[in-house]
Amino acid sequence: MLTFQRKDTKLIASKIKYCKPIPYGRQHITPEDIAQVAKALEHDYLTQGPHIQEFEEAFAQYIGSKYAVAVANGTAALHLCALALDVNEQSNVITSSITFLASANCVRYCGGHVTFADIDPNTIILDINHVRQILAASPKGTYQGIIPVDFAGYPAPMDEFRALADEYGLWIIEDSCHAPGAWFTDKNGSIQRCGNGQYADLAIFSLHPVKHIAAGEGGVITTNNQQLYERLLKLRTHGITRNPSELTENHGAWYYQMHELGYNYRLTDFQAVLGMSQLTRVEQGMQRRHEIAKRYDEAFAGTNIKTYVPTNHVSHAYHLYIVGVENRKAVYDELRAANILTQIHYIPVHTQPYYKNLATQNVYLPHAEKYYEHCLSLPMYPSLTDEEQTFVIERILEITG
């Protein structure tokens, strides 16, 4: 019986197959990007050149933060944030279970402990009410920080997280990897862009090819806090300072001092050039993402395919377009056979063996676990063509219908 079904599935799937794989996300590199990078390779600097700061300033301007620090990747950005906020073996930090591993791992790099909280089942964002419960259940001073995630490009309610964090004296790192350009209207009626530093102490972005701005590997930290900014600059490059006002002695123009243990987490100059070139098109990319989302929304309205956010989210960055389906594995496999490479975002982090082994008690997060059973990320990237999207929509409707 089982063999039969498998055969059957294969037969159906092999009937229609797209001529080339359609991934869930991919970079968009133009001839202009290539020309810019090629030009940069002829400059005197491959690393630590003038384009890093240029990119940082342009990025900060786009996001609306005072400062930006470009680093080697988004994970390094998270690690540096944890270091700058003095996370150590005594630290307890709360984050979402539905996120990429790195949102939690950065705490572990510094020896701290991670508590996973559940998600709001409608938005898949870290559930602030669950966070509040966790905080209220422990003596004050137990927790030091919260890491909310602007999941899939949907802005976390940072003003609410700030108010809660202030009650308990916590810092906030906003993981904005999915959400450059997304925004929400805060309680005062002001528009706040994700990662703009208005409410979070630090925010981080990734420049990985599947994210909105690609630089190969790369990451950016944004903040409005000058002290944290200056510390991050040092931590990014071995903990070294050359600032005369900080040196306890000075032997000459070559002289530098190392004041704390840092890393080499720098971005290269030609990557910054690629990031800069991409940044000039980021709004165009966002518009296209909204068009694609709208088409999916319309195609799935009234079907048994669940979408996770209301349809009129002008503030959404649409890094991912996620649906909920029954028999997810079968749908995934059939789409894969048709050359549509969907993805699962994410396996709940608290169920990973590493975190299970660390946990002192069994962690059960019902919304996260239920979401994981059904979620499926469909192709969503600016260069996805209408024809490709039509194929995706027709196939998924046929498979789930």
Give the binding site for ligand PLP (CB under 6 A).
Answer: 73-75, 99-100, 102-103, 149, 175, 177-178, 206, 208, 219
Cβ 125 to ligand PLP, closest distance in Å? Answer: 12
Decide: 256 and 11 in contact? Cβ < 8 Å: no
- Helix 269-279 and helix 31-41: axis angle, to 10°? 150
Select 74 or 262, whichever has its Cβ closest to ligand PLP: 74
Cβ 362 to ligand PLP, closest distance in Å? Answer: 25
Cβ 319 to ligand PLP, closest distance in Å? Answer: 8
Alpha helices in 260-301 (DSSP H): 269-279, 282-300
Cα atoms in the Cβ-side hemisphere of radius 13 Å centred on 226: 0
Output the residue with the shortest Cβ distance to ligand PLP. 74
Select 155 or 219, whichever has its Cβ closest to ligand PLP: 219
Select 18 or 263, whichever has its Cβ closest to ligand PLP: 263
Q: How many angstroms separate the CA atoms of 80 and 175, rounded? A: 13
Cβ 24 to ligand PLP, closest distance in Å? Answer: 12
Select 210 or 399, whichever has its Cβ closest to ligand PLP: 210
Select 52 or 305, whichever has its Cβ closest to ligand PLP: 52
Q: How many angstroms separate the CA atoms of 218 and 348, rounded? A: 25
Select 150 or 334, whichever has its Cβ closest to ligand PLP: 150
Q: How many angstroms separate the CA atoms of 296 and 106, rounded? A: 34
One-letter identity of residue 324: G
Select 92 or 377, whichever has its Cβ closest to ligand PLP: 377
Cβ 294 to ligand PLP, closest distance in Å? Answer: 23
Q: How many angstroms separate the CA atoms of 343 and 379, rounded? A: 9
Q: How many angstroms separate the CA atoms of 144 and 396, rounded? A: 44
Q: How many angstroms separate the CA atoms of 214 and 336, rounded? A: 25
Cβ 78 to ligand PLP, closest distance in Å? Answer: 6
Instruction: Give me the residues paired with residue 47 across strands.
Output: 268
Q: How many angstroms separate the CA atoms of 81 and 68, rounded? A: 12
Cβ 73 to ligand PLP, closest distance in Å? Answer: 4
Select 80 or 399, whichever has its Cβ closest to ligand PLP: 80
Q: How many angstroms separate the CA atoms of 186 and 213, rounded? A: 26
Cβ 95 to ligand PLP, closest distance in Å? Answer: 10
Cβ 186 to ligand PLP, closest distance in Å? Answer: 22
End-to-end CA gap in the chain: 22
Decide: 59 and 279 in contact? Cβ < 8 Å: yes
Select 192 or 206, whichever has its Cβ closest to ligand PLP: 206
One-letter identity of residue 202: L
- Burial annotation 91-120 (CB, 10 A radius, 16+ → b, else e): bbbbbbbbbbebbbbbbbbbebbbbbbbbb
